[in-house]
Amino acid sequence: MSRRDLGKAMYGAVLAGASTDAAAEATPKNAPAKGAPAKGAPGGNVTLIRGAYVMTMDATRGDLPEADILVRDGRIAALDRALPVPAGADIVDAAGAVVLPGFVDAHTHGSISQMRGLYGNTPETAFFPVTNRLSAHYTPEDTYLGMLLSAVENVASGITTTADFFDIVRDRDHAEAGLRALQDAPIRARLLYGMKSKTTADPIDLAHVEEWQRGWAQRSAGGRLSLGLAWRLPQDLDDAQAWTIKQREWEAARRLGLPMQVHVSGTVPGRAAAMFDALIGRRMLHPNLQVIHATDARDDQLAALEEAGSGLVVTPLTEHRVGYGLTRIDRFAGTRRLGFGIDGSALAGFTDMFALMRLVALTQAGATRDETAVSPRRLLELATVGGARALGLDAEIGALVPGRAADLQIVRLDAWHLAGFDGGDPSGLLVYSARPEDVAAVMVGGRFVKRDRRLLGFDAAALLGQARSSIRSIRRRALRADP
Ligand SMILES: [Zn+2]
């Protein structure tokens, strides 16, 4: 047995046969294959990734052409040229490939991912009416499938961390199903616990959130998951009663030390600005809160955000799609904690951080009539370390630095649309030319969850089939209730 095969065999033992089709077929409905890589503690195996062009995305380390990365016990142990090969290491030849931190999707809506394709851009088939109508007919299994599908699609495309704004928590069974999905999914995730639906005024089930928080160590899948609040402002900003509820939720999150996210957005002129002003006026901005969208934020509002130390997440694919305005990145030049979010593959259409970066680059250059308006390097920073900083996770993830979690992706440059590249800084290639299918391998907490362009531990075909039958049943139930 060659050293490489030996490494694979050892790794296979850790995964307990997760990558074999037989194991996937034997899996019960709605569950990942036995031994799915991400459940439980990070891997204890040793992996050596050799000869890659390494983009650390760390300001002092920069890029390391032809470098090796040693991963041990789920963390980056060393990063240098020609590292010695430890006995029993799983060796990955990454010559000619680029290794960079996994992307950070700092805001998404996983539970509705099987609604993709149902939005038809008419008043009746727009995002909110369709989502609200169908989500009222979700079962816990639908929630589980949506969030699992979203997370699996994320890792397949190079995203290793996601913040899931879980805002369709119909009851505690749905909440538990959502949590189970993220426990089973091969991704690092923050579950942001929210309301029953996007529009009802029912308060968040804070008692359940507190119960989860008390026993979070048992729920966190070995520390891979964190908990937060998916918080919303009142529909009517003058509704004093609604504010009482919102204030109580905000205070609970502060007391429990939970991170929170809040949307500041709208298609009605002045709506987003009024939301931002309400947050500032009520002194509700703080370092453990991320504002989402704020596409047209004024300078004074962004200055208040900086002063409070809050994070900001923009989601250009969906902001453009629903008409929240053009996401111009120059507007946020002074925002220290800025990241990108997919905001749900159902609305974005595709979980594709490459496409997101490209959209930002093209929008910025077109709007300013300036090809040099934004560098590809800056966009890659926002997609990795920027998102980690926005979420307050930058001590753990976002850059390839010894001691941090080994969350990374290997991008192979061997496709037609990447032809012609012959070394040097690959930033432009990644932003303007690369696609999710070029992500050949993805590692979360030291374990490969994708390798040789194959997802490990998941039967993708079965998952897609389950998602299809889930949305079919949801639509049938919705039609029966409201023909
Ligand atoms: Zn959102």
How far away, in angstroms, is 74 Cα from ligand 1 center?
Answer: 31
Specify the pLDDT at position 422: 81
325 sits in the region (left: phi over 0; alpha: psi -120 to 50; else beta) called: left
Which superfamily is assigned to 3-101+400-464 in CATH? Answer: Urease, subunit C, domain 1 (2.30.40.10)
> For the chain, what are the domain ranges?
3-101+400-464, 103-391
pLDDT of residue 14: 23
Whether 20 has a pLDDT exceeding 80, the answer reads: no
d(CA 381, CA 334): 15
CB neighbour list of residue 152: distance below 8 Å, 6 or more residues apart: 185, 186, 187, 455, 458, 460, 463
Residues 6+ apart with CB under 8 A from 362: none
Report CA(246)–ligand 1 centroid distance (Å).
18
Task: Please say if the pLDDT value at position 343 is more than 90.
Answer: yes
Give 107 Cα–ligand 1 centroid separation in angstroms: 6
Give the pLDDT mean for 135-139. 95
Q: Work out the average pLDDT over 221-227.
A: 97
Contact 73, 44 (CB under 8 A): yes
Residue 200: per-residue pLDDT: 72
460 C-alpha vs ligand 1 centroid, how far in Å?
A: 26
Distance 472 CA to ligand 1 centre (A): 24
> Could you tell me the distance, in angstroms and rounded to a whole number, from the CA of residue 320 to the centre of ligand 1?
13
Q: What spacing in Å lies between the alpha carbon of 220 and ligand 1's midpoint?
A: 23
What's the mean pLDDT in 29-34?
41
Give me ligand 1 centre to Cα 216, in Å.
24
- What does the pLDDT look like over 97-115, one tens digit per residue? 999 999 999 999 999 999 9
The Å distance, Cα 53 to ligand 1 centre, comes to 34
Mean pLDDT of 242-250: 96
pLDDT at residue number 197: 81
Q: Is CATH 3.20.20.140 the right assignment for the domain spanning 103-391?
A: yes
Q: How far apart are CA 212 and CA 190, in angstroms?
A: 13
Burial grade of 367 (CB within 10 A; 0-12, 13-18, 19 or more): middle
How far apart (Å, rounded) are the C-alpha atoms in residues 462 and 358? 32
Q: Which residues surround ligand 1, an ion (CB under 5 A)?
A: 343
pLDDT tens digits along 367-410:
999 999 999 999 999 999 999 999 999 999 999 999 999 999 99
The pLDDT confidence band at residue 421, using thresholds 50, 70 and 90, is confident
Question: Model confidence at 199, in pLDDT bands (50, 70, 90)?
Answer: confident
pLDDT at 34: 37
Confidence band of 482 (pLDDT split at 50, 70, 90): confident
- Whether 38 shows a pLDDT value over 80: the answer reads no
pLDDT at 42 over 60: no
Residue 399: its H or E element: none
pLDDT (tens digit per residue) in 58-96? 999 999 999 999 999 999 999 999 999 999 999 999 999
Give tens-digit pLDDT for 261-313. Answer: 999 998 888 999 999 999 999 999 999 999 999 999 999 999 999 999 999 99
Q: What percent of the chain has pLDDT over 70?
A: 91
Residue 41 predicted with pLDDT over 80: no
Burial string for 368-392 (b: 16+ CB within 10 Å, else e) reads eeeeebbebbbbbbbbbbbbbbbbb
